[in-house]
């Protein structure tokens, strides 16, 4: 840019694009993936992550069905967008309410990764190998219904928390 005196003014670097994200390992991986894709597509673009803890991350003692599941994981990120701390947010689509608040848009959906669920056990290779009365944990009402229908001999219990928390609970029994 040319200043009034004819000199060339230094170019002001663009401010970094800020992505709001939850701080769980999975959410950070997803946000890093989006960040890398943006930086690869736009040379010189600077992107940084704004990690946040949401109400859904804090309320681990109540099932999602009882406390209103979806919005619990997005409100704090929406607030960061509204007050200008972030330019966009990255979420798992399962955590986004079907109806978005006024002023918000679902601007991009990344290619879907493998949608299959995983069974993780320290002792058994598959659900059908579990003994009668064995406890299976899940936070998903859909998974709970499917498990109860297919394996009525198992006890299905609520299991909240991020991946690390769930694996720790598995190790603790």
How far apart CA 147 and CA 127 sit, in angstroms, is 9
Considering Cα of 171, then 21, then 46, then 109, what sign does the dihedral take?
A: positive
Please confirm, yes or no, whether 95 is among the known catalytic residues.
yes
Paired residues of 49 in beta bridges: 19
Segment holding 26, helix H or strand E: helix 25-41
DSSP single-letter state for residue 158: E
Give residue for tokens 């936070």.
139
* 104 contacts 88 by C-beta, under 8 angstroms: no
CA angle, corner 120, sides to 129 and 123, nearest 5? 50
Q: Which of 5, 57, 83, 95 is catalytic?
A: 95
Which are the catalytic amino acids? 95
């Amino acid at each position: 840019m040319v200043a009034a005196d004819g000199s060339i003014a230094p170019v002001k670097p663009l401010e970094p694009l800020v992505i709001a994200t939850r701080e769980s390992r999975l959410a950070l991986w997803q946000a890093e993936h989006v960040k890398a894709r943006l930086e690869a597509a736009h040379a010189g673009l600077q992107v940084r992550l704004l990690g946040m803890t949401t109400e859904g991350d804090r309320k681990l003692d109540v099932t999602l069905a009882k406390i209103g599941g979806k919005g619990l994981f997005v409100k704090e990120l929406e607030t960061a967008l509204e007050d200008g701390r972030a330019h966009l947010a990255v979420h798992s689509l399962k955590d986004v309410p079907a109806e978005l608040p006024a002023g918000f848009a679902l601007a991009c959906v990344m290619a879907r990764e493998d949608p299959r669920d995983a069974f993780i056990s320290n002792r058994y290779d598959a659900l059908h190998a579990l003994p009668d009365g064995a406890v299976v944990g899940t936070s998903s009402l859909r998974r709970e219904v499917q498990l109860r229908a297919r394996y009525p001999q198992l006890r299905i219990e609520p299991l909240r928390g991020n991946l690390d928390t769930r694996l720790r609970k598995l190790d603790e029994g």
